[in-house]
Chain A
Amino acid sequence: MLSQQEGRYIASLSRIHLEEDELEFLARNLTDILHYVEKLRKVDVSEIQPTTHVLPLKNVYRQDAVQPSLSREDVQGMSQHTSRGFFKVPQVLE
């Protein structure tokens, strides 16, 4: 059900590198699970609205008032990959 190619595509979309054997293993797992999940097709959902939120909450806001931000120490302390206050990542091509 889930071909190797699809498996590779999903892994890439998930930004996870998988070696061939792990990819094969996971693809098989996924196939089994998707097979099981097929039973959902039997349900008649033609007139049914999806449930995105179980609570009937609406219009939750905050006021446009400044709250304290993180301190420099808190931010710099998050990573060793920083430079002059910036986070550093490998060069991005545009």
Chain B
Amino acid sequence: MNLSTLTAHELLDLLKNQKTTPQAITESVLKAIQRTDDKIKAYVRVRDQEPGFAPTRGSVPMAHRDLGGLTPAPSQTHLPISIKDNICIRGSPTTCASRILEGFKPSYHATVIERILSAGGLIVGQTNMDEFAFGSSTENSCFGPTRNPWNLDCVPGGSSGGSAAAVAGHEAIWALGSDTGGSIRQPASFCGVVGLKPTYGRVSRYGLIAFASSLDQIGPLTKDVTDSALLLKIIAGHDSRDSTSADVPVPDYTASLVEDVKGLRIGLPKEYFIEGLDREVKEAIEAAIAVLQKKGAIFQEVSLPHTEYAVATYYIVATAEASSNLARFDGVQYGLRCQPKTSRKTALVDMYEETRDAGFGKEAKRRIMLGTYALSSGYYEAYYLRGQKVRTLIKNDFDRVFEECAAILTPTSPTTAFRIGEKIDDPLAMYLSDIYTISANLAGIPAMSVPCGFSQKGLPIGLQILAKPFAEEMIFRIAYAYEQAALWHKRKVSL
């Protein structure tokens, strides 16, 4: 049996019954990568293939400082996991798929890495992404695009496309991604896997190379909902190194994996079911609604009136924060450093400008400039400040709906995976593909994408479940109930 095609919880069962070993599981994953990653290109770095990439050996936890207060997961996982290339792993190159971080090796682990290692996890590789998480297709990577395992001519989504494709293609048991405007959920939807963006503050951002500080969250990409609950439990929790980390206890999320949705009120925002939504996606969502209704969930139309402003708000607020977060990439202490052949301004300014020209890709430059503009003198009120105010309105929309409903259900993306190259030259079209996912980041609420069908052409379709802050348990409950009834996760890709 090909171990790499199993879920984490199935493998844990096998381990518990001593039917397999952590080494065998890791071997299986590494073999799968060897076999198929030439085609998928989900990975940018794999252990034992990369000189010096050995963040763990065997399954000995390698927390380098006292984790005081952290309790390891009840079941030591001893499973291999794959990490998006914007999460710092001590001693390993961590590049955010950008030339500008060439040669950068953090001397510190991200908090989530420490938690995974202390739970016995094993890092098997780092996955591809859109540079600095700027993108919805993983085409903006300095390493080249990742391909969708369901159709190699299509994008896996982004920016956590590498992690999603690895999980979908059985080149990973489970993976971590990051989500600022949909970067976990949209690739999960395109690749037919489960992707969760936790509540803002649920998971520590320490060691996540920042895109937009008030929107970023790290989250799990997994083969099913059970795995998502297991992985969230390991990585979630308060971190004294992150001032924006919530001091809220982490429940046992697996206790929410019950198939009971009777009487739960689920809202359907009318602003999400409009023109531009793919017919096949719409039909899959409607079928999913029927499944949940049969299980006793009650659906009602709700309104999130400021939905139409979400993309605009996001592209002002997120890029503004990003422009500031990326100012540190200047060649002074680490990474790429360039000097132009002929001097233009002063040698120092030349170094900054040449390094950042050579180091950043087009999308990164676009976003940095847009963000700089939005914050600049004379424009701050009209753009950034206004954007933050509209953000309040978007958040209030959700607060109102959650007074009546336990959750909200929407499509994750208006389309299925598009072809590689299709949208790369039309930034605005690319931005608009985030239309359903962006609001959750602006409001700070948790949201999950769950597979809910396939298009005629065999491309996965995802549905999104949103809940109020720190109500991940509600999401798990609804997602699990749906998953166990519809069984889409049983359909696996064959490469």
Contact = CB atoms under 8 A, between A and B. Distances in A.
A–B proximity contact (CB within 8 A): yes
A49 B366 CA distance: 28
A85 interface: no
Interface stretch (B27-35, B142-150, B344-352): B344-352
A55 B332 CA distance: 34
A37 B431 CA distance: 12
B315 interface: yes
Contacts of B354: 17
Nearest to B373: A10
B391 A29 contact: no
A55 to B, nearest CB: 5
Contact of B330 (A15, A51, A93): A15
Given A14-B368, A15-B349, A55-B244, A74 B340 contact: no
Given A30-B370, A50-B392, A60-B243, A40 B309 contact: yes
Among the interface residues B352, B373, B395, which one has the most CB atoms of the partner chain A within 10 A? B373
A41 B387 CA distance: 10
Contacts, number: 161
A30 B309 contact: no
A90 B309 contact: no
Interface size class of B (residues with CB under 8 A): 35 or more
B205 to A, nearest CB: 12
B332 A89 contact: yes
A54 B445 CA distance: 9
A6 B89 CA distance: 40
Contacts of A57: 201, 243-244, 246
Interface in B197-219: 200-201, 214
A78 B372 contact: no
A40 B313 contact: yes
B244 A40 contact: no
Give the top 5 A-B pairs by smallest Cβ distance, nearest first: A54-B444, A50-B388, A90-B347, A17-B353, A45-B389
Interface of A: 2, 7, 10-18, 22, 26, 29-30, 32-34, 36-37, 39-41, 43, 45, 48-55, 57, 60, 62, 68, 70-71, 74, 77-79, 81, 87, 89-93
Interface of B: 65, 104-105, 107, 200-201, 214, 240, 243-244, 246, 306, 308-309, 311-313, 315-316, 323, 327, 330, 332-334, 337, 339-340, 344, 346-354, 356-357, 360, 362, 365-366, 368-370, 372-373, 376, 382-383, 385-393, 395, 427-428, 431, 442-444, 469
26 contacts: A13-B372, A14-B356, A14-B372, A16-B356, A22-B365, A29-B427, A33-B370, A36-B312, A37-B383, A39-B312, A40-B313, A43-B306, A43-B389, A43-B390, A48-B389, A51-B388, A51-B392, A53-B244, A55-B246, A74-B107, A78-B104, A81-B332, A87-B332, A89-B332, A90-B346, A90-B348
